[in-house]
Amino acid sequence: MIEIDTEKLNELRKVEFWENEYLESIFYSLSLDRQKMLEGFSTKEEIKEDWEEYLGDQTSSFATGSERIFYWLFNQFGKPNSSPVGSDMFFETYNAYVHIDIKTVTLSNIGDFRRNIFVGDNQNSYMGNINVRGKEPRPYKGHLPTYYTKSNGKKKICLTYFITILYDETNLDLQTILIMCMPNGLLNKVYGDKIISPGKNPGKIRFNYTSCPYFELLDERASRIKVLLWKEENMEESVEKKLSFIKELYERQDKS
């Protein structure tokens, strides 16, 4: 972390405070609705004979179904915003604009899940450099603002979250579900460039969520990653070993 003056540090602590508050709120709400969520995911089984033969025709089939479940669960979270630039779900609350994007990853692509995830430019406000070994750093800036300014001049902070689902593409069994908070772009002074890495396409990024597992400025060192679901009974041993970082998070997580 670079040296930051006291006034700026207090502002950044406030950013992290609200990032954590909303992460806890999302996690708590979904934890309360955990059974409802699982029942929602299982509704596909009731009509399985009508869609099973077409599974795989559209790579986003599981993602589409998953998004429907979370739209349903978040229907009272805040006021939806119709901005064309943003995440799958975009809400306004009394003091923030909150982006929540749903991502699904298959076991065959577990490498796209273990340490980092793809994030779109329209899904984050981060700014920094994309560092590629042997090449000049490439400046990066997400398309979301760090603060939104309403037409009346009022400002509200931009908060970004990802709900990431790992599932077995052969039978659609859930493996684990994570909720993670990507730092607001103002926090580049705290996290630097370590939390972004090159995406598969030029100029695109991946969020290295394992490089920022905690809110660095909060005294309690709260986690930026919540494990909403860990279904060890569905996992092969090799998968569990690859997800050791997540398993450790789950075991340390307060499940009271």
Q: 68 near 41, Cβ under 8 Å?
A: no
Mean pLDDT for 39-66 is 78
The answer, yes or no, to whether residue 255 has pLDDT greater than 60, is: no
Q: Are strands 127-130 and 117-119 parallel, antiparallel or unpaired?
A: unpaired
Rounded to two decimals, the pTM is 0.91
End-to-end CA distance of the chain: 33
Identify each DSSP E strand in 39-126 by its residue range.
79-80, 89-92, 96-106, 117-119
83 has a pLDDT exceeding 90: yes
pLDDT at 256: 47
Residue 36, Cα to own-chain centre: how many angstroms?
21
DSSP helix, strand, coil percent of the chain (3-state; round to 5) = 40, 25, 35
Give pLDDT tens digits for 195-214.
999 988 877 899 999 999 99
CB-CB neighbours of 146 under 10 Å: 17
CB 152 within 8 A of CB 196: no
Cα separation, 128 vs 119, whole angstroms: 14
DSSP strand pairing (96-106 vs 155-167):
parallel
Which H or E run contains 36?
Answer: helix 34-42
* Rounded Cα gap, residues 115 and 242, in angstroms: 10
Q: Structure tokens of 199?
A: 């995406």
Weakest-pLDDT range from 31-45, 52-66, 184-198: 52-66
